[in-house]
């Protein structure tokens, strides 16, 4: 549902042509478009504040292109597509010339980045260089949703002075995303320094006993620092989305 559709619906309520209960139902179940292989949710922006995001893994290049095209035709100015291979990204760019793709995070942004309108800054901290793909997925997601982002990379606990040298940046943030693999200790350290929400992202970086991120996940879930929440392993997108939503709260 576009803004024009919404205004027409509200005008119908005011004129008495549409019952308030009917309008409420339409708003809660805004229309979707059935493409056969996908049901494109045009009402998600009205319900959740952001358009549907396209998850690229498991979809063909043509399916990704079709969903993105329908979302834009439905009124979405900026569309995110995550976990895209370079080949799928190239196919998307051929159909959408204003698409930009970051091969590290495998995230594509179709359309212009919005001007930052969040209340503060989202700070994304990555423990090591190996964590950057997940950290960039979080950072670029938050930017595409209208948040100003500060990046602090390679500030893991093995050299704590690197993090402490940027303490002013951390303390100025409204929400912090902490991305770490290995033992995942950085989330607890940051959580013990700040009075704002910390979103911890375990990564699958680490040697055998890291169990592809499970060790970091469990460590973050058991953090003794208050105010730390945890998303799934390698879920930079989820962390960036949540961080931006917090940043837009009144």
For the sheet containing 198-202, what is the strand order?
A: 148-153, 121-126, 175-180, 198-202, 228-230
Q: What does the pLDDT read at residue 29?
A: 56
* Segments forming the whole domain that contains residue 91: 31-110
Please indicate, yes or no, if residue 64 is contained in any of the structural domains: yes
At 117, give phi and psi (nearest 5°).
-130, 15
Q: Are residues 69 and 146 in the same domain?
A: no
Q: What does the pLDDT read at residue 160?
A: 93
Last residue within a domain, chosen from 110, 132, 156 = 110
How many independent structural domains does the chain possess? Answer: 2
Tokens 């940051």 correspond to 190
Q: What does the pLDDT read at residue 20?
A: 87
Last residue within a domain, chosen from 110, 142, 157 = 110
Nearest by Cα to 132 from 180, 190, 189, 81: 180
Alpha helices (H) in 122-166, listed in sequence order? 132-144, 160-164
Q: What does the pLDDT read at residue 170?
A: 96
> What is the per-residue pLDDT across 16-34, written as a single tens digit (0 to 9) for each?
998 988 887 766 656 788 8
Q: Are residues 44 and 93 in the same domain?
A: yes
> What is the per-residue pLDDT across 146-192, written as a single tens digit (0 to 9) for each?
999 999 999 999 999 999 999 999 999 999 999 999 999 999 999 99
- How many residues belong to the chain? 250
| Strand-pair partners of 162 | none
Q: What does the pLDDT read at residue 23?
A: 80
Query: Which parts of the chain register pLDDT below 50?
Result: none
How big is the CA angle at 109 (ends 104 and 113), to the nearest 5 degrees?
Answer: 120
Last residue within a domain, chosen from 110, 141, 157 = 110
Q: What does the pLDDT read at residue 28?
A: 64
């Amino acid at each position: 549902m576009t803004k024009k559709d919404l205004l027409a619906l509200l005008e119908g309520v005011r004129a008495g042509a549409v019952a308030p209960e009917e309008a409420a139902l339409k708003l809660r179940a805004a229309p979707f478009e059935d493409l056969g292989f996908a049901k494109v949710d045009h009402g998600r922006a009205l319900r959740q504040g952001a358009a549907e995001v396209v998850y690229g893994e498991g979809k063909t290049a043509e399916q990704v292109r079709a969903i993105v095209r329908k979302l834009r035709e439905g009124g979405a100015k900026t569309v995110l597509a995550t976990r895209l291979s370079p080949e799928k990204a190239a196919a998307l760019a051929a159909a959408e010339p204003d698409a930009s793709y970051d091969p590290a995070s495998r995230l594509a942004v179709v359309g212009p980045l919005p001007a930052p309108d969040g209340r503060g800054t989202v700070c994304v901290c990555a423990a090591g260089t190996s964590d950057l793909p997940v950290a960039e997925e979080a950072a670029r997601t938050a930017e595409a949703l209208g948040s100003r982002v500060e990046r602090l990379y390679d500030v893991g606990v093995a050299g704590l002075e690197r993090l402490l040298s940027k303490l002013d940046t951390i303390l100025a943030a409204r929400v912090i995303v902490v991305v770490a693999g290995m033992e995942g200790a950085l989330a607890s350290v940051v959580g013990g320094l700040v009075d704002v929400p910390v979103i911890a992202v375990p990564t699958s970086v680490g040697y055998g006993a890291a169990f592809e991120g499970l060790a970091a996940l469990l460590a973050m879930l058991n953090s003794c620092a208050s105010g730390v929440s945890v998303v799934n392993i390698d879920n930079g997108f989820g962390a960036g989305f949540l961080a931006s939503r917090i940043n837009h709260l009144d």
